Amino acid sequence: MTGHPVDIYSLSLPELTARFASMGEPAFRAKQLFDWLYVKRASSYDVMSSFARPLRDKLAAELPFPAIVEHTRNVAADATAKFLFELKDGQRIEVVFIPTAKRGTLCVSSQAGCKFGCGFCASGIGGFVRNLTTGEITGSVLSAMRAVHPKKVTHIVFMGTGEPFDNYDHVLGAVRLLNAKEGINIAARRITISTCGVIPGIERFATEGIQVELSVSLHATNDLLRDRIMPVNRKYPLKELLGACRRFAKATGRQVTFEYILIKDLTCTKDAARELVGLMKGWLSKVNLIPYNPVKEFVHRPPTMNEAREFQAMVERGGVVCTLRSLRGDDVSAACGQLRNSLKNET
């Protein structure tokens, strides 16, 4: 054994090359392996015909594939596919494929469970279990890619279970692998990290020098309400959060997208629309409205379509770019906020 076994999807090409050097293997072999993994998307060493058997055995011992077994697949009437993958310790994580005419978006998880406990989201209900490793995140993307083939995955959003900036290093490791030119090669601009507002993560992300999109789950326009429905706000209040977002936009030249959930009579009100304009106007920001998707543990209700459109129109009239997200996959509980690491699909 040359070192501790490390799961194979957790190493960048330079790291893999260094690992091969320490095993006495030439660098070009590392490049070949990278190609097998991320371009040919092999799921075991057995199929890697360009490697001799002893090398394959050595690789399987030192750089094993992470255990990611497809447990369930649910395909909604609109072709949105929700996968439940089981990991080596029995934890289950979701990945959702959302096809549209022009895009194939994969919504991926960063943690098993979530510790942030937002008062409208299913992911936090069972509490936090653990961080996913870079290899588990990358591996779950590859498993979903194989499953939806020949449909193409063109975009990745870290909007599944968990808080990406609470698992910063593993998420960034996965982002770099998804983005690697010699590998999966998804353009950075087609990758989005969504955060509930973890300021240190936003600050660090601003210094990465990559063009990955930042999305922030805002959901309330004042501290009184945000404290109530998003406990993270008590630690990172609105003013400081928006300050960090503005600094991010300034430092990177990139627009920040704010997700805003529309809950009847709570966040979908005229006062909130006015406040939202006040917060967003005049800097590199835009708003994406998400009508609340029902989760059985909460009493909230979504607004009517008319109320949602009216809210959108008010924000737009205020001079802020504002889109209204269409509902996808809700019949298999694959919509935003309906993901949880459970076997059942009830909401």
Minimum Å distance from CB 15 to ligand SAH? 27
336 catalytic per annotation? yes
Q: Do 226 and 120 touch, CB atoms closer than 8 A? A: no
Q: Which is nearer to ligand SAH, 60 or 125 (CB)?
A: 125
Minimum Å distance from CB 165 to ligand SAH? 8
Minimum Å distance from CB 287 to ligand SAH? 12
Q: Which is nearer to ligand SAH, 41 or 130 (CB)?
A: 130
Please tell me which residue in 94, 136, 213, 259 is annotated as part of the active site. Answer: 94
259 catalytic per annotation? no
Q: Which is nearer to ligand SAH, 58 or 340 (CB)?
A: 340
Minimum Å distance from CB 334 to ligand SAH? 12
Q: Do 259 and 194 touch, CB atoms closer than 8 A? A: yes
- Residue 69 CA to residue 182 CA, distance in Å, equals 26
Minimum Å distance from CB 17 to ligand SAH? 33
Please tell me which residue in 121, 268, 336, 346 is annotated as part of the active site. Answer: 336
Q: Which is nearer to ligand SAH, 144 or 261 (CB)?
A: 261
- Residue 213 CA to residue 175 CA, distance in Å, equals 11
Q: Which is nearer to ligand SAH, 104 or 119 (CB)?
A: 119
**Residues in contact with ligand SAH by the rule CB under 6 A:** 118, 120-121, 159, 163, 194-196, 217, 219, 259, 261, 290, 292-293, 295, 336-337
Whether residue 150 has a cis bond before it, omega within 30° of 0: yes
Q: Which is nearer to ligand SAH, 47 or 299 (CB)?
A: 299
Minimum Å distance from CB 192 to ligand SAH? 9
Which residues are part of the catalytic machinery?
Answer: 94, 336
